[in-house]
Structure 1
């Protein structure tokens, strides 16, 4: 049986002083009590307070000492911050790292391999994971037993590629097939959520689980009748009710697999809950929605808005970002929306754009502090003639004899004969040729 111990009561003065990284109350000897972002907690710390009621987190006790990385991982899945108690000398280096963590979402994702080198691994991981999702779809249609745990090594491969150069996976995610929305959507959400988690500062060991959350978040839709799921028009109230059942259907399916981390079924059930308590299926208030569910909600909505469906064309990334921003604090977590927009930018990697000079380029990567001036690869000159590819950072143009370039307009994929798929094939062929 689980027993919950009532946490120590904190004085009003102590509660008022609980700011991130600041001392909340002096304790005997060299102990300190501080509020920390959950990504900085370590085994050995005593957790005395959460950012939500203790009953909303699957831990055994109220007020306990972290003894393992697994316990810290559970807190990272649900909470944004906690109040901990530890020796001052142990806390000192962690508190010193706070400024770097706060600055993390103003810096681009780190890259350890060039885009052209990473594309091979990204394409392999993407294709193998895509085949897995297609197999899951067939197994559900044929009522076969699901083998969801076999997705782990596939997600690990995707995570390794994201860590090496996320833009390679972002390029793969830009190639969309209208008729394969269900499979591709799940994979895109997994990829973007892993990159988002890394951007926010989650430890790298968390990427596999958060990627599994993204991959399986909509698995319940495979139980929704096709005539409703793919209806080329507005759904009736009764059809909406059936569609909304996908969260509980997915939760039921995943709960039957004991090999999966419990947070995966939690996200499947709650990724359509809203910060204002008007979501479904349970109209949860903000503090009852897990951190991972709030992350997936943003990525899921962004990809759904920017993807072509059988009944409508997707909107531009800029318009999708505008809608996310408009609905922050109501539908979506405010700080997470703002961080996600900084990560993807207005012109996401893989976008085709026309520059103010008339040149045509592909977006290579974005910079959180310069959403309108990403790094691009120029492929056509002002007269729309092919030129030797040249990478240029629009936010760092220092050539005195070169005109200052800005993006004048986004272009549809395939404009002027330039396609993302074609450029990926060229770069991969060049890499192979260079190795031989």
Structure 2
């Protein structure tokens, strides 16, 4: 067993886990002051729920054991891995303990679910959100993670690579879809679900451009900084080894978001006359989203180009909700869905070796488009059905008067900012 790589994976897992509290700060700063507790609790709720479900059965769905790899679609369950009973021992000759990989992938499940919550800020019931999160993770995230990653544990302790989006498409087109760290499984997946929930819950009271402004930009910057820090574990850690590929992913995780940050600020300056701190944070996150699937498949110069493209397009894409009439509160669609699509499709042209520029073949672009569209449709449809069912039964949205008053005290009995110990 390679203790260095084991330590690398465990440290990467800790970094990715930190991303969810970072997301809580990022989202928390963007909402109203009277909704900050509710918003941050949705992220922490995802940490609790996904941490338990992943151990109970999430890993058994996402990574069923196999000797040769499988192309399961749409769903498979390995009963031997329920409760992780089948992965407690480290096989002889394994590069690292299977539980290290289990821990790393658990943090992906947590952050993916938490991302969705940004679309329904200021108006969602916490209990309804938790029910949605559990069902959506079970029928959408866990299977989609298997489609994309699906490292089946072989008898020799190695992990075979066989999701239908990767191995299955490769069998047909000669190349599989490239998604090194989750452009489809995480960002397109979460962005599509966010769009569905925004439609199900409807618009916030008084929804219009400029009506809802971030209450705490320093929180937004803090959250973006923690996200960026944790993202090095997200991207470089996905190599599962401290090697040259991990180093390339690390460098690209610096270059792309840096370029996207600049691009977003340039768009803001041209469009609105002033570059903002929230724009800088949002641009960095857009670049991080776009580079996620591509971090190990691009030369750094192309990572910079991707960052500029993603930052500029996402800065414009967040205006779509006003033109199309859906209330995606914190721009999950404009940043994660659009950014994930950009990063995924960009690989079809610029991926090292297989992209159109180097290979002269459209096959990589075709499989990238198939993967992106399949995950988008699957996630959107099921999220809409789950959200609609919850809304029509127990109710997903709080009452309008509670939304106006602020849902922190109504839902959680707490206030984000208590300026006096004296209670009236």
TM-score interval (norm. to shorter): under 0.3
Q: Which has the higher helix share?
A: 2
**TM-score calculated relative to the size of structure 1:** 0.26
Larger relative contact order (C-alpha < 8 A, sep ≥ 6)?
Answer: 2
